[in-house]
Amino acid sequence: MSRPTRIAFIGNSLPRQCGIATFTGDLSQALIDAGEPVETSIVAVTDAGQSYAYPSDVIFEIREEEVEDYVTAARILNEGRFDVVSLQHEFGIFGGPDGEHILTMLEALRIPLVTTCHTILAEPTPSQHRVLQKVAAHSSRVVVMAEKGRALLTEIYGVAPQKIDVIAHGIPDRPFHDPDLAKVERGYAGRPVILTFGLLSPNKGIEVVIDAMPDILNESPEALYIVLGATHPTLLRQQGDAYRDSLRQRTERLGVDHAVQFLNDFVDLPTLLDFIAMCDVYVTPYLDEAQMTSGTLSYSFGMGSAVVSTPYWHACDLLGDGRGILVPFGDASATGKAISTLLGDDEARMAMRRRAYETGRAMIWSHVATLYLGSMAKARTAFRPKFVSDLISVRMKRPPQQTASKLGHLHTMCDDTGIIQHAVFSVPDRSHGYCVDDNARALLLSSLLSAVGEIGIADRMTASFAAFVEHAWNPDTGRFRNFMSYDRRWLEDEGSEDSHGRTLWALGACALSDTDAPRRRWASALFARAMSVTLDFRSPRAWAFTLLGLNDYCVANPQDSRARMLRIRHAENLMDLERRVSKVGRRWFEEGLSYENARLSQALIMTGLSTKVSSFVETGVATLEWLMTQQTSDKGHFRAIGTDGFFDIGQLPKLFDQQPVEATATVAACLAAYEATSDKRWIEAANRAFDWFTGSNDHGVSLVDPETGSCRDGLHVDRPNENRGAESVLCYLISCVEIGRANQMLRPIPPRLGVRQLS
């Protein structure tokens, strides 16, 4: 296995005051000191409204709530020739609900990822479950700091056990110490010292130890309880020092203020180690069991302190077999008794300290760094770059080749204006010119590739697709034109409602996922100008395409209240259609079936997941279930709704002509249904729809050329259509990207929003 020499960290960084910032800095330095040539850099996350004088090893600063910064960070890392990325994951340090903005970065990352999980919840919300599971899916290796973490990741989040490494929290390498000597140096000679350190906040349980102090002082009248650490910055911004003041008032009421000392300071490492060295008993009275990692406990335990702790997960892992004492949560009496017992029995306290110190030798930073380097080496071995050619080759069961050849036909269909609509066989047909529909699809494909960190479409091509969309915008009508002749003459002042909606869809995807920041801003600005006109639209597909665009646009622009309103309006429009049209045995939005039918269901599902409106998701899944009964042959393969029968009310769907756009829409909708229900049968349905391209269809013939990535225009009643136009190749490549992502979604997850599964 090849160990990395260039490592990038994603997390918090000093001088930001938090445990993850300290951990990131310590691990980075430990890797540098590990004896092998290692260069480290940090991408630091800055909390809202704050600024820090970061050191030179911080190469980029992510503003917590700015989605654009996460995309930029991914590009910087991809272009920085790093061997591996180490992500410090904690729900609260990244932007978005439960820190979901980090997923935007991970989807675009093309480097092996090792994620250290600092918090793993046994009872996560659906959103927390989704975020952590997706983080794990993007990771080549996942590191936890206790065996309990491995069990939770496996049982609750479905992470493969062989993907998980258990590596303890690192600690400094210090010799076994004599507390009495350390007390002399700090001016505490002759006093039994009890210590708690760390950022001060109500969940730390300091009041429990204060309540225990009267009993402790009865046994050890000279005892001193030192609370070392600054108030947590977030708490300080929200409430000032009200919590610390309440603790002081508590000591005064109990008459123990002379025996409790508050040191309100975020101390440097040497000072911290001096305080640990002089304490007789270290106490962590945390109030919550679900504390997966405690750096303060690791430091004190590993240096050989006698520890009294509540039984949170990390403490249970470290303090068994006489290495410490566990007391019930919030029990001042038991806490006081345990501390008094240790202070009164020098021999027992020394034996406990030695057991802790000996166990802690395996936790020193040099050893931890070696374990991390091993995990990173395994990540590099397991990592496989994501290319469009890989996706096509996997589905075609052929060995991967160069990416350029897999996009050969797409390149053939493009010029400096954009992508040409039609082809005669594989030759671009200039007589039909261009349309915004296909250039929007091409921009969408480019954005999808960027979102998952794949390589293929040159930036100049993406720029030409965007330029076509920009030129299609007609400010006089507030609409996009659609058709353009080969000599660049617009053939209309405005296109259809559907083409307008599809263009908004592409702009939304571009606004969120494009690799170029100015182009993302362009897409957001044009989307904002072009979305309001859709309030007057009457086409269900225009509503659906607009909703799909809003799904991304609202992530990129969460402050846009008009967009949020528009999203609910269009979703309610689709819901109203379904309520009026559906009847027993037939749940659908229209009396007949037309093209891209599955997009209607997909739009509702994705909108419901984004807005947490379960009725949208339920209706989307139910209508898709019914549609699948119409798109499945008696032999079980996917059968696209034929164009000969569009909107035949009350009739069975016509068999031909079948077109790629139907398969692509169905693939995407089924994957959305899987995300909503966690039912693997939706993944299977998506694969069946994709297999229509490769021969599992009514004629048993493959429509694609795996060498060029071209796709025939569909199936006639007696033969395949030999022409290979823009819509077909784009639909095929879009489905390649989406079905490739599905292969990483196969591990079951709990259903979101309580949606029923595929029947």
The residue ranges of every structural domain in the chain are: 6-170+369-382, 179-362
Determine the Cα–Cα distance for residues 184 and 176; give it in Å rounded to an integer. 17
DSSP secondary structure string for all residues of 303-317: TT-EEEE---HHHHH
Average pLDDT, stretch 399-419? 73
* Phi, psi for residue 656 in degrees, rounded to 5: -140, 160
State the pLDDT at residue 388. Answer: 44
Cβ contacts of 528 within 8 Å, gap of 6 or more: 557, 560, 562, 563
Strands 479-480 and 473-474: antiparallel
Of 94-108, 486-500, 543-557, least confident by mean pLDDT is: 94-108
Residue with tokens 């590191």: 143
Which pair of structure tokens corresponds to residue 319?
Answer: 């303090």
> Bridge-partner residues for 193, per DSSP?
224
Higher pLDDT, 552 or 2: 552
Q: Which of 279, 283, 365 is nearest to 324 (CA)?
A: 283
- Three-state DSSP state, 652: coil
What is the arithmetic mean of pLDDT over 617-621?
A: 96
| Angle between helix 295-302 and 269-278 (nearest 10) | 60
> Which residues have C-beta within 8 Å of that of residue 397, sequence separation ≥ 6?
none
Q: Which amino acid is at 250?
A: R
Distance CA 675, CA 101 (A): 18
Give tens-digit pLDDT for 587-597.
999 998 999 99
Neighbours of 321 (CB within 10 A): 8
pLDDT in tens, 500-554: 999 999 999 999 988 888 999 999 999 999 999 999 999 999 999 999 999 999 9
* pLDDT > 80? residue 233: no
Least confident span in 102-111, 177-186, 446-455, 718-727: 446-455
Q: How far apart are CA 443 and CA 507, in angstroms?
A: 8
**CA 718, 720, 725, 727 torsion: positive or negative?**
positive
Q: Degrees (nearest 5) of the Cα angle 567, 75, 519?
A: 50
Q: Where are the beta strands (DSSP E) in 327-485?
A: 420-424, 427-435, 473-474, 479-480, 483-484
What pLDDT does 743 receive?
58
Handedness of CA 461, 466, 471, 472 (dihedral sign): positive
620: region left, alpha or beta (phi > 0 left; psi from -120 to 50 alpha) = alpha
Per-residue pLDDT at 317: 83
Count of Cβ atoms closer than 10 Å to residue 444 Cβ: 25
Same fold, 6-170+369-382 and 179-362: yes
Give the range with max mean pLDDT: 153-157, 204-208, 502-506: 502-506
Give the integer Cα–Cα distance in Å for 635 and 368. 56
Mean of the pLDDT values across residues 363-382? Answer: 93
Q: What is the per-residue pLDDT for 267?
A: 76
Say how many C-beta atoms besides its own lie within 10 A of residue 66's C-beta: 15
pLDDT, greater one: 689 or 79: 689
* pLDDT at residue 665, rounded to an integer: 97
Q: pLDDT at position 241, please?
A: 84
Angle formed at CA 27 by CA 26 and CA 31, multiple of 5 degrees: 120
Q: Which pTM was predicted?
A: 0.57
Question: Residues with Cβ < 8 Å from 552, sequence gap 6 or more?
Answer: 508, 509, 511, 512, 513
Give the β-pairing of 58-63 and 720-721.
Answer: unpaired
List the structure tokens of 666.
């169905």
124: phi then psi, degrees, rounded to nearest 5: -75, 155
Torsion angle of C-alpha atoms 3, 86, 69, 531, degrees rounded to 10: 100
* CATH code of the domain occupying 179-362: 3.40.50.2000
Give the chain's length: 759
State whether the Cα torsion 605-593-667-515 is positive or negative.
negative
Distance separating alpha carbons of residues 389 and 457, to the nearest angstrom: 12
Q: What is the DSSP string of 219-287?
A: H-TT-EEEEESPBPHHHHHHHTTHHHHHHHHHHHHHT-GGGEEEE-----HHHHHHHHHH-SEEEE--S
Cβ of 398: how many Cβ atoms within 10 Å? 12
**3 state SS of 84:** strand
The more confidently predicted of residues 663 and 678 is 663
Asked if the bond preceding 498 is cis, omega within 30° of 0, the reply is no
Superfamily designation of domain 6-170+369-382: Glycogen Phosphorylase B; (3.40.50.2000)
Q: CB count, 10 Å around CB of 132?
A: 26
Cis peptide before 112 (omega within 30 of 0): no
Strand partners, 658: 715
